[in-house]
């Protein structure tokens, strides 16, 4: 049985190794993607803080002039002084950046035009859209099984814990790397399982996570957005809607605005209430896009269990649940996963070369014996 488990662990690791290596390295970088992107592209993401801001409708109007052939879908609002407004247009996924204080358009780009955007797309979608995201989801679940299998193979016999957690640095390279692979895997296995499991839950949310939540709790985490009443041409001001949302949740931070793509679509104001674990919040106030009346209020703190579970997935995956220390921990987990992939691959190569040499020596010896 142990030989079978070793073979499964070895060859499953070889099959998944490249995917996990990419996930570990990219994940380690994008934990701090916002800070890195702001440093590399200050002309788009950093402005001088000012006391006043222009109306959001003016910001949207200026952004639309730069991308007239696409529709605005989402507005990311400044989270701190010096941040810009980011307007996402579809179907091209173009980002337009606007100074919130004077309405000046600072520029536009596709996410993959930036280093962090490219790495995020590689990490989440393998640069292949929804299909790549689905592949990543199943790779993550396979990584969970691979990690648990590794723990089973590592688990020491009674009284041999010290030996199981030690590395023989004085031994040869193969033994040292074997011990590093074994001990490192045992130390970080729980964190890898948590990261892979939450990442898969996000990537396979519609296919797997939501059905499981419904089966387990009786209700899902998602419900369709309410509808506006079409038939009018005038639109309610966005700032008026934000003021209404702030009146409903006075202590909340407004993080994003979902803009209507259809005549009957609603405007969604996304907010983070005090006590919410999700870094962008999972609370919403929905408005009729024409008359600005409130259509529905979604409070994540009083929502059903499925919503509360969903709210934890992204923070756990990105490491924001404990602040800066857990974000750095997530970086180390990603680098550890990468090292496990490299060391596992190196061990397999060395083992294969050793066996090839041994077989060649046996053939040579047999040939020499036959000529006597």
pLDDT digits (tens, 9 = 90+) for 213-224: 999 999 999 999
Return the domain boundaries, the chain: 1-11+125-221+325-367, 238-303
Cα 93 to chain center, whole Å? 18
Tokens of 126: 């393998």
| CA pair distance 13, 180, nearest whole angstrom | 16
Is residue 62 classed as helix, strand or coil in its secondary structure? helix
* Residue 233 banded pLDDT, cuts 50, 70, 90: confident
Taking 70 as the threshold, does the pLDDT of residue 372 lie above it? no
Q: What count of residues does the chain have?
A: 372
pLDDT digits (tens, 9 = 90+) for 160-199: 899 999 999 999 999 999 999 999 999 999 999 999 999 9
Residues 72, 87: contact at Cβ < 8 Å? yes
* Residue 363 banded pLDDT, cuts 50, 70, 90: confident
29-58: average pLDDT? 96
| CA pair distance 367, 370, nearest whole angstrom | 5
| CA pair distance 268, 258, nearest whole angstrom | 5
Residues 137, 204: contact at Cβ < 8 Å? yes
| CA pair distance 173, 33, nearest whole angstrom | 36
**DSSP characters for 151-164?**
HHHHPPPTT-HHHH
What does the pLDDT read at residue 364?
76
Q: How many DSSP H helices and E strands does the chain contain?
A: 12, 8
* Residue 230 banded pLDDT, cuts 50, 70, 90: confident
pLDDT digits (tens, 9 = 90+) for 304-342: 999 999 999 999 999 999 999 999 999 999 999 999 999
* Residue 27 banded pLDDT, cuts 50, 70, 90: very high
| CA pair distance 233, 179, nearest whole angstrom | 69
- With a CB cutoff of 8 Å and minimum separation 6, the contacts of 12 are 142, 145, 146, 149
HSE-up of 169 (CA within 13 Å, CB side)? 0
* Residue 282 banded pLDDT, cuts 50, 70, 90: very high
87-106: average pLDDT? 96
What does the pLDDT read at residue 77?
98
Is residue 213 classed as helix, strand or coil in its secondary structure? helix
What does the pLDDT read at residue 370?
63
143-154: average pLDDT? 96
- Residue, of 233 and 300, whose pLDDT is higher: 300
Count CB atoms within 10 A of the CB of residue 163: 10
| CA pair distance 153, 5, nearest whole angstrom | 8
Tokens of 331: 């970086």
| CA pair distance 330, 333, nearest whole angstrom | 5
Q: How does DSSP classify residue 208?
A: I
Rounded percentage of the chain residues whose pLDDT exceeds 90: 91
Is residue 146 classed as helix, strand or coil in its secondary structure? helix
| CA pair distance 211, 192, nearest whole angstrom | 24
- Asked whether the CA dihedral 359, 363, 364, 366 is positive or negative, the reply is positive
Is residue 1 classed as helix, strand or coil in its secondary structure? coil
Average pLDDT, rounded, for the chain: 95
What does the pLDDT read at residue 368?
67
Which residue is listed with tokens 């998944």? 16
Q: Taking each helix axis as running N to C, give the angle between helix 115-125 and helix 2-30, from 0 to 180 degrees, rounded to the nearest 10.
A: 150
Tokens of 237: 């001001």
| CA pair distance 283, 298, nearest whole angstrom | 5
Is residue 214 classed as helix, strand or coil in its secondary structure? helix
| CA pair distance 107, 47, nearest whole angstrom | 13
* Residue 369 banded pLDDT, cuts 50, 70, 90: low
The predicted model scores a pTM of: 0.92
Which residue is listed with tokens 């690791």? 13
């Amino acid at each position: 049985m142990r030989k079978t488990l070793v073979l499964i662990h070895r060859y499953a690791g070889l099959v998944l190794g490249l995917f996990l290596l990419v996930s570990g390295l990219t994940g380690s970088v994008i934990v701090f993607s916002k800070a890195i992107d702001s440093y590399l592209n200050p002309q788009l993401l950093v402005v001088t803080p000012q006391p006043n801001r222009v109306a959001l409708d003016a910001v949207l109007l200026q952004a639309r002039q730069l991308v007239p052939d696409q529709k605005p879908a989402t507005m990311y609002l400044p989270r701190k002084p010096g941040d810009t407004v980011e307007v996402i247009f579809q179907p091209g996924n173009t980002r337009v950046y606007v100074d919130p204080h004077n309405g000046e358009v600072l520029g536009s780009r596709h996410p993959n035009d930036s280093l962090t955007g490219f790495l995020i797309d590689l990490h989440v979608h393998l640069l292949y859209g929804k299909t790549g995201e689905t592949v990543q989801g199943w790779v993550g679940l396979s990584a969970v099984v691979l990690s648990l299998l590794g723990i089973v193979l590592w688990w020491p016999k009674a009284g041999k814990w010290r030996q199981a957690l030690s590395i023989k640095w004085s031994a040869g390279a193969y033994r040292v790397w074997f011990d590093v692979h074994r001990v490192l895997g045992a130390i970080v296995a729980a964190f890898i399982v948590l990261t892979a499991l939450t990442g898969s839950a996000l990537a396979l949310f519609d296919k797997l996570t939501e059905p499981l939540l419904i089966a387990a709790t009786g209700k899902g985490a998602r419900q369709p957005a309410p509808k506006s009443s079409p038939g009018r041409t005038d639109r309610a001001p966005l700032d008026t809607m934000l003021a209404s949302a702030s009146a409903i949740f006075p202590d909340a931070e407004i993080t994003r605005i979902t803009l209507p793509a259809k005549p009957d679509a609603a405007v969604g104001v996304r907010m983070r209430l005090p006590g919410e674990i999700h870094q962008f919040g999972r609370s919403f106030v929905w408005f009729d896009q024409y008359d600005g009346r409130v259509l529905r209020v979604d409070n994540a703190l009083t929502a059903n269990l499925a919503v509360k579970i969903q709210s934890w997935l992204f923070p756990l995956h990105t490491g924001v649940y404990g602040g800066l220390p857990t974000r750095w921990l997530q970086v180390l987990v990603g680098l550890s996963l990468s090292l496990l992939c490299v060391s596992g691959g190196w061990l397999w190569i060395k083992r294969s070369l050793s066996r090839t040499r041994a077989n060649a020596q046996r053939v040579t010896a047999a040939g020499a014996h036959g000529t006597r």
